[in-house]
Amino acid sequence: MLKSAIAALGLGMAMGMSLASPVLAADAPSEIKLGTLYASSGRYASISMPVHAGLKLWVEQKNAEGGVYVKAFDKKIPIKLIAYDDQSNTATASTLYNQLITQDKVDLFVADSGSVLTAPAVTIARDHKMFLFDQTGTGGSFFSKDNPYIALMSDPVSTIWPKPIADFLTKDGPALGIKRVAILYSTNEFTGTQANSLRKFIKDANAPIEIVYDQGVPTETTNYTVILNNIRAAKPDAVIHLGYAPNDIAFLRNVQDVGIKFNMLFCIYPGLETELLEKNVGAKGLQHVFTYVPPSEMAYPVNFGMNIADYRKAWDKKYSDGKIEFGFNAVAGYTTALVIEKTLSEAASLDQMDLRKAVFGLSGKLKTLDGTFALDETGGQIGELTPLGQLELNDHGHIKFVAVYPHEVATGKPVYPRP
C-alpha cells in the first residue's frame, strides 16, 4: 500500500515535471513582442514622443542587460519593440493597433500617449481580449467594471486630476477672495472630463463659489484673444484653462500679448511639460501660474527602477540633442516600462488575464519615480496624484515649483492675487 502510494506520488511528480519543465525552458520565446504606437508628427507629437522615448530607453537598457526577467519561463528574455507611427491620426492609429494584434501578434499591447490616440486602442483591445497597457490615456469613459482589458499606468484618471484645484478653490479660495471662477477647456476626452469633474467637485462642495464662465473650444484652437476678452468681461477671480500643450502655449502667449492679468490663472501643461512651455512662453509668462506639480518635482522614493535623478541622467545621455523635452510624459513612458517589467516578473504566464492579474497585484505596492502605482477595480489609476502648485522665479530667474495644495505636501503659500 505504502509502496504503491509512493510510486503514485513519484509518477505524479514525474508527470508534473515533464509538463512543467518544457514551459520553463524549451518553450520560452526568443523575444517578448511589445507592440505600441507613437506620433512623430501632428498635434500630439509633443506629448507622444517623450512617452515613446521613455519606453524605448528602457527597452534598450534591458536588452543590453540580456532582456527582462520573465517569471513564466524563469529566465531573461529580450524585448522586441514593434512601434508604428500613427501621425496623430486616430484612423491610422486604429489600423495600426489592429495590425499589432492580428499581424504582429504582440505579447504586450501598449497604447500611444494621450486620451485621443488611446481611445481606438481601448475598443480594439477589448474586442481582441488583449490587455491594454494604457500609458497616459486618462479619459474617464475608458474604465468600467465590465472591461477587464485595460489599466492606466502613469497618470491618474481625468476624473480625479482636478480634485486638488477644486479643493483649493472651495476650501482656501473664499478666504483668499476667490468667488467667481471661469472654466475654459478644450473639447476632448482628457480635458473635457477634467472640466466635468471640476464643475461637479465645485458644485458638490457647496462653497460660495460661482462659475461665471464655462466654455469649451475645439482642441485645434490656436488663438484665444477674443475668448480672453470674453472671459475678462465675466470678471472672474480665477481662470482655469484645461487644454493640451499647444493650447496652453497659445493661451498664455495671448494673455501676455493682450496685457490681461487674472488674479489666479491655472493651466495644465506648465507643470507637465515645463521645459517646452518655458521655451515658448518664457519664464516671465509662467510666473505665478498655477499648475499640477509633476513627479519630477516631488522626488518620490522608489522601490523599483531608477529614481528621478538617475532617470534624468540616463535621459540626457541618450537624448542629448534636445529634440525631445524631458518632462511629465518622459517620466510616464518609463513608468509604463517599469510596470511592464514588474508584471513580467510576477505573471504566471503571458496569457492576457494572467498579465492583468499581475498588474493589479502591483497596486499599492509598486513605488516608482512617478509615485505609488495604485489601481481601482476598473483599472483607473488612483495613485500618482498631482498636487496643485504655483510657478515662481528663483534668484536666477528660472522657474521653480511651489506646491500649495493639499496642505500636507505644500512647500509654500499661494501668491494671490497675481501681482
Q: Which residues form the interface with another protein (CB under 8 A)?
A: 39-43, 45-46, 49, 88, 187, 215-218, 220-223, 225-227, 229-230, 233, 245-246, 249-251, 253-254, 256-259, 276, 279-280, 282, 321-325
Quick one: 158 or 254, whose CB is closer to another protein?
Answer: 254
Comparing CB distances to another protein, the nearer of 152 and 184 is: 184
Find, among 346, 328, 380, the residue nearest to 132 by Cα. 380
**Residue 281 Cβ vs another protein, minimum distance, rounded to whole Å:** 8
CA 89 from chain centre, in angstroms, equals 20
Considering beta carbons, is residue 63 or 187 the nearer one to another protein?
187
Helix (H) or strand (E) holding 68: strand 68-70
Pairing of strands 388-393, 290-292: antiparallel
Minimum distance, C-beta of residue 233 to another protein, in the bound complex (Å): 7
CB nearer another protein, residue 57 or residue 339: 57
To another protein, the closest distance from the beta carbon of 115 in angstroms equals 18
Shortest distance, CB of residue 367 to another protein, whole angstroms?
30
d(CA 179, CA 299): 34
Q: How far apart are the C-alpha atoms of 340 and 316, rounded to whole Å?
A: 23
Q: Which is nearer to another protein, 18 or 320 (CB)?
A: 320
Q: How far is the CB of 205 from another protein (least distance, A)?
A: 26
399-405 and 388-393 beta bridge pairing: antiparallel
Least spacing, CB of residue 123 vs another protein, in Å: 24
Residue number with CB closer to another protein (144 or 225): 225
Identify the helix (H) or strand (E) that includes residue 411: none
The pair phi, psi for residue 275, each rounded to 5°, is -60, -45
Q: At 403, phi and psi to the nearest 5?
A: -75, 130
Q: Which is nearer to another protein, 89 or 98 (CB)?
A: 89
User: Measured between alpha carbons, how far is 165 from 242 in angstroms, rounded to an integer?
Assistant: 12
Provide the minimum distance between the beta carbon of 384 and another protein in the complex, in angstroms, as a whole number. Answer: 24
DSSP annotation string for 345-400: TT-SSS-HHHHHHHHHHTTTT-EETTEE--B-TTS-B-SS---EEEEEE-TTS-EE
